[in-house]
Amino acid sequence: MSDRDEFVGRFGGVFEHSPWIAERAWDHGRIATPLHSGSVHKALCAEFRAASHAERMGVLRAHPDLAGKLAIAGELTEESKSEQAGAGLDRLSAEEHARFTALNSRYMSDFGFPFIIAVKGHDKDSILSAFQSRVANDPETEFETACAQVERIAGFRIAAILPET
């Protein structure tokens, strides 16, 4: 791939609403060709990790609440909608939804960004268990945990775009 706009168009959304990561990876010459999921993931994660704390916090804040208001309103990105549906978060009972809402509120209040977990391979019960465990973390630990989860999500999204070689 030799065109920056094409690259950013293809990979600019793998970090939620943060095309600047793909732009910087391209601009810094981190993109090796031929493209494959592992090399693209490594390049994008390197840019994410090189970003300032405030920029990474912006990426975290760009993520939707799990089973939250955006999901109810149908305003999730297609990737987030598919990921949450795959984990059953679009089929919560009223009681389960109330529990997620309460945890989302507490988590956002404590950490300043929504709870983020790479939901692939999880179901609503394992997500709820992780949520309940992680809400007790200190802010620094949870920031790093959320960043690692964002990188996992990006990896899954890249793998859906590109084959592994």
Residue 162 included in any domain = no
Residue 30 included in any domain = no
Long-range contacts of 156-160 (CB under 8 A, 24+ apart): 156/83, 156/118, 156/120, 157/13, 157/14, 157/79, 158/11, 158/14, 158/37, 158/40, 158/41, 158/44, 159/37, 159/41
Residue 57 included in any domain = no
pLDDT value at residue 65: 77
Among candidate residues 17, 41, 53, 63, the one labeled active-site is 63
> pLDDT digits over 88-106, tens only?
777 888 898 889 889 999 9
DSSP H or E segment with residue 23: helix 20-27
- Does 41 qualify as catalytic in the annotation? no
Question: Which residues in the chain land under pLDDT 70?
Answer: 1-2, 67-77, 80, 163-165
pLDDT value at residue 157: 93
The CATH number for 144's domain is 1.10.3330.10
> Which residue from 72, 69, 147, 141 is spatially nearest to 110, judged by alpha carbons?
141
Residue 132 included in any domain = yes
Residue 161 included in any domain = no
Residue 28 included in any domain = no
Residue 126 included in any domain = yes
Rounded Cα distance, 84 and 86, in Å:
5
Tell me which residue range forms the domain holding 117.
64-149
Q: How many folded domains does the chain comprise?
A: 1
> pLDDT digits over 64-76, tens only?
877 655 455 455 5
